[in-house]
Amino acid sequence: MHLNKVSLEARHISLSYGSTEVLRDVNLKIEPGEFFALLGPSGSGKSTLLRLIAGFNQHQRGELLVDGQDITGTPPHARNVGMVFQNYALWPHMTVWDNVAFGLVERRETKDAIRRKVGAVLELVGLAAYAQRRPGQLSGGQQQRVALARTVVIEPKLLLLDEPLSNLDKQLRVQMREELKNLQRKLGLTTIFVTHDQEEAMTTADRMAVLDKGILQQVGAAAGLYDFPVNRFVAGFVGTANLLEGEVTAVGGETLTFRVQGVGELTLPRPEVPPPLGAMALAFRPHQVSIRVRDEQVDASRLWLNGRVESAEFLGEFSRYRVRVGEVAMVTDQPHYAGLAMFAPGAEVRLGIEPTQVRFLDR
Amino acid sequence: MQAAALRPGTAGPGPWIAFGLILAFLLVFLILPVGTVIYTAFVNEGGVLTLGHFANFFSQGVFRESFFNSLWVALAATFFASVIAVPLAYLTVRFEFRGALLIQTLGVLPLIMPPFVGAVALQLIFGRSGSVNLLLDDWFGFTIPIMDGLVGVTFVESIHYFPFILLNLVAAMRNIDGAMEESALNLGARGWRLFRRVIFPLAMPGYLAGAALVFVKVFDDLGTPLVMGVTNMLAPQAYLRITSVGVDDPLGYVISVIMIAFSILALWMAARVMKGKDYATLQKGGSALQKRRLTAWESALAYGWMVLILLVTLAPHIGILLMSFAKVWSFSVLPDAYTLEHYGTVFSDANHMIGNTLLYCLLAAGLDVVIGTAIAYLILRTQLPARRWLDYLASAALAIPGLVLAIGYLRLFKGMNLPFTETPLVGTWVLIMLAYAVRRLPYALRSCMAALQQVHVSLEEAAQSLGATRLSTIRRVMVPLMAGGILAGFVTSFITAAVELSATLLLASTESQAPMSYGIYLYMQSISGRGPGAALGVLAVVVVGLGTYFSHRFVERSRATVQAKQEG
């Protein structure tokens, strides 16, 4: 199958149901052949955006361009945008073969062409032997492959996936993730998929967009979003983060001073582009914080704070502690090895923050 | 998140055209005729608004009496139907015992026999000189006059209509999540208090829906009192006024308005009490109410009650069957001699009646499912403004007695000809068929709505995203998936139309256009016609029974297909 790769661009798209704004001024460009994820919590508008691209929702303002052409107002059946639904939406009254052939029949293709294409795509997803089964006789993973085959067989311009893995159990999910990625590479289709699972988005997509409350928060590759979140929401949603509210009180040549509410003043190395003076949040990841007993000799390059362990969770790969420092709680993850004793709740400890990994967030 | 498919930009003219056609149909064949009836009741000859007809109505003793008789019979029948149905419903849902299948049968048996046929048959069993009273007189020297007058009507109607309460109540109680009961037990409620504080309130909506329906049906019934020779009730009075005094007699219209008012009142009160209380929903993966074993003496009581009800509900079926084979049957417990000649008579003389029933009812049921599917689609799958009104209008037919609709047709279409012909519209079978279609539309509509609700929107969206147009989606995906429900709606409309009498009595103008129900009524008017009438009645019961069975099968099967997929 040779599919042309297309780009998708959303310009100033807004959508509301009555007085509820679901999407607010969304701007987004997805490159040809890209595997792109829309990531966000439920109610963030990510599914609405996907359905809007498919033509099931209509935006009130803005433009939606496929290869530079506005498709706003084109009905769903004329868009040639394939969508795989969360519940797969296989028709129970048709066999696997008929499900896959559906779109080709609608396109009035010849019997020969239909036979050839359906056979090829079922081969591609490894279901050639199941052509005469009904969807109800297939496992969840097989149903999903049928749904995929049914969609890619019409050679759509775009492939849309709505929470494609959420109905599968954990092991199958990891396996299907791989399959999905391979299939996308093989076909080279511009693919957009919606998920609320950051791990799924990070492992599968080339780039992703994080949405919250109908607003596009940040777009980028997984590592970029993880290392340099632009605001508190992205810092907390992509990975786990400690967020300390406070304000930058002074910026010097080498250092700056940040006063954390309920903790006190911290002196940090000045980043290349220093933050402005004023209120903001300090963000850093739990694994970038080390935990030591109070009187131990410590690495002077870290920033050390005294605290008391509030709770400890053993998670296998690491142990997670909640530590009270002044009036705030911080979370730290420590790699676990056999024989390593855990800190008990109530233990007096010191936390060491890696200063180069700290981010200043003004939003 | 994806509950409603919003595609205002892609609506096109199709839905609007369907909306307009359905609205026109409902206006011409439901709203205008009923409106005419109501209007006529409130104006005098000069066309001035007046309450004079109502004053006239209530000033006459016979009408006042009829009014209160109808009211009392309807209330009493609802009460006795509840007395029969509530224990049976509770038994099925709450206890583990083998009678459950028997109770399900009990729930259908009476419904497959038209009540006016049941009335005749019950005369033979429980009447003054019926089998039971003859035996009682022989053995104990007394009789029970249970088939006389208003008591008789109440008796027949209670037996015929209790399944409405039984079926609704069982459905409601089956839907109660077992966890609700368990948490009540967990918090210390037991026995009677558990029933009163948790189970009864949760089952209330189902009970009320059934009871309101029984009240309305009994209040509006014309066939049963007529067959039993009781004329001092509202429906028979209206019928007699229109047929003897004429279609211009205002009192017939006054009675019609009163009947509509009470129907609406009963349905409205049930809906009002239920409002926001339909909370008996079984969570996915939840379990139903716990079942308990009956103690020996409880089960003796339960079986006793069931067998008694079963015998009484079977009585009309046995009676009509015996009568259809009886050569002579009077003043004896069982017929004196048996014959097949009544069936011969029916097949030679009344062939056209069977044909008429098939013609009218197939057309009416076909019309119903087409309109029902279209309304369901407009409501559930488009965003047309005011689309809900189609549902309200179509469902309003529930509150309109057949008699009233027929009177409205006679009045509204008086003097009109069939399009392109000189044949007057009134007096053709087309009106009978349309009356059936309008009256049964609510049933077909509910079936179609339920069927479409079971089809997940994404199944249609998937078709559209693969390039199917709206029409193609309806044809290739929606209708095949709804097929079971549509078929069930068709059968329900068909079988209930087949036994409709009240509209038929007024609208059938010649014997040649009479359907089976009218034929049974005509035969039953004379003693010599009772045999063939019974034979025709047996045929009707068989048709309705088979229809009920098949519609049940269709629903089960389509539910199985759709669910197999959605759970898989």
pLDDT of residue A86: 87
Residue of A nearest to B477 (CA): A91
Q: Which residue has the higher pLDDT, B168 or A311?
A: A311
Q: Is the pLDDT of residue B433 over 60?
A: yes
pLDDT of residue B350: 78
Q: Which helix (H) or strand (E) holds A267?
A: strand A264-269
pLDDT of residue B510: 80
Residue-wise pLDDT for B392-421, tens only, equals: 888 888 888 888 899 899 888 887 777 777
pLDDT of residue B315: 85
**In the 8-state DSSP scheme, what is residue A165?**
T
pLDDT category at A34 given cuts 50, 70, 90 is: very high
In chain B, what residues touch A144 (CB-CB under 8 Å)? Answer: none
pLDDT of residue B29: 92
Per-residue pLDDT, averaged over B354-381, amounts to 90
In chain B, what residues touch A140 (CB-CB under 8 Å)? Answer: 568
pLDDT of residue B26: 93
User: Can you tell me which residue has the tokens 């007993």?
Assistant: A293
Distance in Å, alpha carbon of A176 to nearest chain B alpha carbon? 17
pLDDT category at B99 given cuts 50, 70, 90 is: low
User: Can you tell me which residue has the tokens 């036994």?
Assistant: B499
pLDDT of residue B55: 81
Strand partners, A10: A28, A64
pLDDT of residue A19: 83
- Contact call for A81 and B465, based on CB within 8 A: yes
- Across the interface, of B1, B456, B480, the residue whose CB is closest to A47 is B1
- Contact call for A93 and B561, based on CB within 8 A: yes
Residue-wise pLDDT for B506-555, tens only, equals: 888 787 888 888 888 888 877 777 888 888 888 888 877 787 777 777 76
Domain B48-287+300-328 carries which CATH code?
1.10.3720.10
Asked whether A215 and A178 are in contact (CB, 8 A), the reply is no
- Contact call for A76 and B469, based on CB within 8 A: no
Topology agreement, domain B48-287+300-328 and domain B340-568:
yes
Asked whether B136 and B175 are in contact (CB, 8 A), the reply is no
Residue of B nearest to A91 (CA): B459
Per-residue pLDDT, averaged over B315-330, amounts to 82
* Count helices and strands in chain B by DSSP H and E runs: 26, 4
Of chain A, the percentage scoring pLDDT greater than 70 comes to 99
Domains of chain A in start order, with CATH, are: 8-236 (3.40.50.300), 240-361 (2.40.50.100)
Counting other chains too, the contacts that B240-247 makes at CB distance below 8 Å and 24 or more residues apart are: B242/B407, B242/B410, B242/B506, B243/B506, B247/B407, B247/B410, B247/B411, B247/B414
pLDDT of residue B2: 36
- Contact call for B564 and A92, based on CB within 8 A: yes
pLDDT of residue A341: 83
Residue-wise pLDDT for B107-135, tens only, equals: 777 777 878 888 888 888 887 777 777 77
Task: Say which range, A112-116, A279-283, B92-96, B345-349, has the weakest mean pLDDT.
Answer: B92-96
**In the 8-state DSSP scheme, what is residue A343?**
P
Q: Is the pLDDT of residue B22 over 90?
A: yes
Distance in Å, alpha carbon of B440 to nearest chain A alpha carbon? 29
- In DSSP notation, A207-258 reads EEEEEETTEEEEEE-HHHHHHS-SSHHHHHHSS--EEEEEEEEEE-SSEEEE
pLDDT category at B388 given cuts 50, 70, 90 is: confident
pLDDT category at A75 given cuts 50, 70, 90 is: confident
Task: Say which range, A233-237, A259-263, B232-236, B421-425, has the weakest mean pLDDT.
Answer: B421-425
Distance in Å, alpha carbon of A245 to nearest chain B alpha carbon? 34
Say if strands A207-212 and A35-39 run parallel, antiparallel, or are unpaired. Answer: parallel
pLDDT of residue B373: 92
Per-residue pLDDT, averaged over B49-55, amounts to 80
pLDDT of residue B8: 42
CA dihedral A259, A260, A263, A268 (to 10 degrees): -60
In chain B, what residues touch A90 (CB-CB under 8 Å)? Answer: 462, 565
- In DSSP notation, A172-187 reads HHHHHHHHHHHHHHHH
What number of C-beta contacts closer than 8 Å exist between A and B?
A: 119
pLDDT of residue B566: 46
Of chain B, the percentage scoring pLDDT greater than 90 comes to 12
pLDDT of residue B568: 37
In chain B, what residues touch A141 (CB-CB under 8 Å)? Answer: none
How does the average pLDDT of chain B come out, rounded?
Answer: 81
Residue-wise pLDDT for A76-102, tens only, equals: 888 888 899 888 888 888 899 999 999
**Range B340-568 has CATH code 1.10.3720.10:** yes
Residue of A nearest to B456 (CA): A89
Tokens at residue A85, please?
């639904």
- Across the interface, of B468, B480, B562, the residue whose CB is closest to A77 is B468
Q: Is the pLDDT of residue B283 over 70?
A: no
Closest CA to A288 of A341, A349, A346, A359: A359
- In DSSP notation, A272-326 reads SSPPPSEEEEEEE-GGGEEEEETTS---TTSEEEEEEEEEEEE-SSEEEEEEEET
Per-residue pLDDT, averaged over B274-295, amounts to 60
Q: Is the pLDDT of residue B286 over 70?
A: no
Interface of B with A (CB under 8 A): 1-2, 5-10, 456, 458-459, 461-470, 472-473, 476-477, 480-481, 561-562, 564-566, 568
Residue-wise pLDDT for B288-316, tens only, equals: 666 667 677 877 888 888 888 888 888 88
Per-residue pLDDT, averaged over B335-344, amounts to 78
- Contact call for B458 and A150, based on CB within 8 A: no
pLDDT of residue A262: 81
- Contact call for B6 and A56, based on CB within 8 A: yes
pLDDT of residue B562: 56
Residue of B nearest to A55 (CA): B7
pLDDT of residue A208: 93
Most confident residue range from A166-170, A207-211, B480-484: A207-211
In chain A, what residues touch B459 (CB-CB under 8 Å)? Answer: 89, 91
Asked whether B495 and B444 are in contact (CB, 8 A), the reply is no
- Across the interface, of A82, A87, A136, the residue whose CB is closest to B465 is A82
Residue-wise pLDDT for A108-119, tens only, equals: 889 999 999 999
Task: Say which range, A345-354, B176-185, B249-258, has the weakest mean pLDDT.
Answer: B176-185
**In the 8-state DSSP scheme, what is residue A5?**
-
Q: Is the pLDDT of residue B282 over 70?
A: no
Q: Which residue has the higher pLDDT, B476 or B562?
A: B476
pLDDT of residue B284: 46
Domain boundaries, chain B: 48-287+300-328, 340-568
Of chain B, the percentage scoring pLDDT greater than 70 comes to 88
Per-residue pLDDT, averaged over A131-136, amounts to 89
In chain B, what residues touch A117 (CB-CB under 8 Å)? Answer: none
**How many angstroms separate the most distant Cα atoms in chain B?**
81
Cβ within 8 Å of residue B487, ≥6 positions away: B551, B554, B558
pLDDT category at A176 given cuts 50, 70, 90 is: confident
- Across the interface, of A135, A137, A154, the residue whose CB is closest to B466 is A154
The answer to ipTM > 0.90 is no
pLDDT of residue B210: 86
Cβ within 8 Å of residue B124, ≥6 positions away: B130, B131, B319, B322, B323, B329
pLDDT of residue B275: 67
Residue of B nearest to A93 (CA): B481
Q: Which residue has the higher pLDDT, A321 or B300?
A: A321
Residue of A nearest to B10 (CA): A75
pLDDT of residue B558: 67
pLDDT of residue B279: 54
